[in-house]
A and B are shown apart, each in its own frame.
Chain A
Amino acid sequence: MANKADYKITESAAELEEHLRDMLFIRHFEEKCNRVYREGKAGGYMHVYIGMEALAVGWMKAIRKGYDYVITAYRDHAHALLLGTPPVAVLGEVMGRSCGTAGGKGGSMHIYDPKNGFYGGWGIVGGHVPLGAGLAFAARYRGEDRVCLNFMGDGASNQGVVFETLNMASLWDIPCVFIIENNEFAMGTRLEYHASDKELWKRGLPFDIRSERIDGMDVIQMKRQATEIVEWCRKEQRPAWIEVMTYRYSGHGAADNDRQLYRTKEEEDLAWTRDPIARLKKQMMELGYLTEEKYDAMDEELIEEVEKIYIEADASPHPEPDEVYDNIYSDMKPEMGH
């Protein structure tokens, strides 16, 4: 790993506080999503980001928001929130309400906000990876200097279309950063059971792509390294393949309610010692940037904020029945009726 355990923190107190606030907000938002699901106010498949917050926070602070492209799979709430999508629209979509980003037609797995550069929100593992390369290709085609952050899970990195895409991304000099959110599990299948070589970062090497493995549990390092990689990609007009080591404390999806089927409590407890939020909190307190009281106040404030978001989203109606035919096409409706 490129990270060093000891480094000098040069970031300002205000910047670190923003990192902390963003991560805490995501955690509370996701915990609320879990509760909403358990209460029956959300359905289908829902995947939360608890434990992985530093990863998305670091990368989203490394790009030009609303200019660069971002695309990911179905664990997508955090990316949208960090890009500036109104949280009510995200939670509303999770709850299938008309205030949602897609008016309730997409759901948790399909959050989109193209105005803020967010292109989803996709449900077929690995299927969106060529789309992200296509977005970056469009930038290259037009001579713009946008890049695309193309997130996927460790499970997706086995899909054939991902290798196809890497080949073309290198061949055609596509400015796309492929980011593997390696949380060690493809659903319930542990990394060593699904990958012939656990070092997924090596998979970019045969395509002559800059390939690295970095730590995703340290938000300060995450942001620094993401910034360097994004700017390299923008300048060199080349792809990068970055394996980011992380861990999800929650289940794969909201319906995954027996994590002991595939991992032990001891393993989870050990992983909690790497909690990115606790880590930053400790670092900030050591620097005198934060006190327990201040942290608690922030925590309380964010819990209340999420509650307000929920109340507003819950007040939004479900979509009207006649909307079912809307927006299948840009200019027509399909054959109607059963």
Chain B
Amino acid sequence: MGIETTYRDALNQSIEEEMLKNPEVFIMGEDIGRYQGTFKVTRGFVEKFGSRQDQYNYRILDTPITECGFTGIGIGAAMAGLRPIVEFMTMSFSILALDQIINHAAKVHYMTNGEVKCPIVFRGPGGAAKQLSAQHSHSMDGWYAHVPGLKVVAPATTLDAYGMMKSAIADDNPVIFYENPGLYTLKGVIPEDQNFTVPIGKSQILKEGKDISLIGYSRMTQVNLAAAELLAKDGIDAEVVDVRTLLPLDTETIYNSVRKTHRAVVTYEDWRSGGFGAEIAARIQEDCFNDLDAPIGRVGGLNVPMPYARNLELLCIPSEEDVVKAVHKIG
């Protein structure tokens, strides 16, 4: 039993259900109302909840194109106890709001020694979509996962998108909810039980294997699953570890997998140099060195601004072939 849906619609349904349950949950962002969001995650919300243009109703709040300002207003509202969801049209635009997210949202709980909470979700597509080129293709996940005070989730499946959004909205801390645009049309099944949640901070094994651990998150988990199928043809039984949450990082699940397979390749779409996969690889090296039979492999995006031409763009984004190559390289 369950409902067949897509990653996009699972997010839509999850947010809608939480907004119906709790009048203090609202969503704000550029063109999320009548326009229904650039990636249509907020489709149908204006009809259900009304819009600011019709009445004094702030639940579906179309904002001016001023990311820093509206993010700050959302954070202030969260400090007063509301539970805002801030949509960034793309995570690339959240760069304009970094001061508000890092200097304000991520700091207020510590600077007040716990007196002021900041229950807010920052969500939107991050990573390459299709030929959006250099300024619209940033993976901001690793940048945010660097910041104490934030939680960062990057679900790879439709079920997790649904369940983790519920956890993010319920969380009393600022949560970055990273949605790779390549996942929006991914199909999946979600439960009929509206109280279903997927906890923040727990990784999962999506495919068991004994020869090597492919460790990734968000769209790269799907790439790793495809790579595992290719590897099977070569007789290599890969285990796919879906990290799901970058901060806090569930190292136990990752370590247990590495201790079983004795080999690991970490994959991420962000620029290879200094990306979050490097952090995962470093932790495995620190804590599982004696369990490893080979160096840890790493697959990341090319260290270039995203080019427009489709052939160059595809070259930059790691594919299942790149993952397979990395597996063979570490031997």
Contacts and interface: CB of A to CB of B under 8 A. Distances in A.
Interface in A154-208: 160-161, 164-165, 167-168, 171-173
B52 interface: yes
B278 to A, nearest CB: 15
B276 interface: no
B111 to A, nearest CB: 4
A66 interface: no
For the complex of A and B, 8 pairs with smallest distance between CB atoms: A134-B76, A130-B72, A164-B69, A138-B80, A131-B76, A164-B66, A327-B114, A102-B113
A130 B110 contact: no
Interface in A285-338: 326-332, 334-335
A29 interface: no
Given A119-B116, A133-B76, A171 B64 contact: yes
A134 B74 contact: yes
Interface in B91-127: 99-100, 103-104, 108-117
A160 B108 CA distance: 22
A327 B69 contact: no
Contacts of B99: 124, 127, 161
A165 B73 CA distance: 8
Contact of A164 (B68, B115, B148): B68
A141 B322 CA distance: 50
A246 B100 CA distance: 29
Contacts of A136: 76
B81 to A, nearest CB: 7
Contacts of A61: none
A58 interface: no
Interface residues of B, number: 46
A135 to B, nearest CB: 5
A106 B100 CA distance: 18
A112 interface: yes
Nearest to A140: B58
Q: Which of A127, A134, A138, A140 has the most CB of B within 10 A?
A: A134
Contact of A106 (B78, B79, B113, B249): B113
Q: Which of B111, B148, B248 has the most CB of A within 10 A?
A: B111
Interface of B: 26, 52, 56, 58, 61, 63-64, 66, 68-82, 99-100, 103-104, 108-117, 148-149, 151, 171-173, 201, 248-249
21 contacts: A105-B110, A119-B79, A120-B108, A122-B104, A127-B99, A127-B100, A131-B73, A131-B75, A135-B76, A135-B77, A142-B82, A161-B72, A164-B66, A167-B64, A167-B66, A172-B58, A327-B114, A329-B109, A330-B117, A331-B173, A335-B249
B208 to A, nearest CB: 27
Given A106-B113, A114-B116, A329-B151, 7 more contacts: A105-B111, A130-B68, A139-B80, A168-B64, A327-B109, A330-B114, A331-B173
B63 A168 contact: yes
A167 B66 CA distance: 10
A133 B58 CA distance: 14
Contacts of A121: 111
A330 B109 CA distance: 8
Given A105-B110, A141-B26, A168 B104 contact: no
Given A102-B112, A127-B100, A133-B72, A138 B117 contact: no
Contacts of B82: 138, 141-142
Interface of A: 69, 71, 101-103, 105-106, 110, 112-115, 119-124, 127-142, 160-161, 164-165, 167-168, 171-173, 326-332, 334-335
B69 A165 contact: yes
A120 B75 contact: no
A131 B104 contact: yes
B173 A330 contact: yes
A108 to B, nearest CB: 12
B115 A112 contact: yes
Given A112-B116, A130-B73, A131-B76, A141 B249 contact: no
B114 to A, nearest CB: 4
Given A327-B109, A334-B148, A141 B58 contact: yes
A329 B112 contact: no
B79 A135 contact: yes
B58 A137 contact: yes
Contacts of A332: 201, 248
Given A131-B104, A165-B69, A167-B66, A110 B111 contact: yes
A165 B77 CA distance: 13
A150 to B, nearest CB: 9
B67 to A, nearest CB: 9
A132 B148 contact: no
B184 to A, nearest CB: 29
A141 B26 CA distance: 10
A106 B110 CA distance: 8
A114 B115 contact: yes
Nearest to A141: B58
A137 B76 contact: yes
Q: Which of B66, B117, B249 has the most CB of A within 10 A?
A: B66
A135 B80 contact: yes
A323 to B, nearest CB: 9
Contacts of A161: 66, 68-69, 72, 99-100
Given A121-B111, A168-B64, A134 B149 contact: no
Contacts of B58: 137, 140-141, 172
Contacts of A110: 111-112
A112 B76 CA distance: 14
Contacts of B68: 130, 160-161, 164
Nearest to A166: B69
A165 B61 CA distance: 15
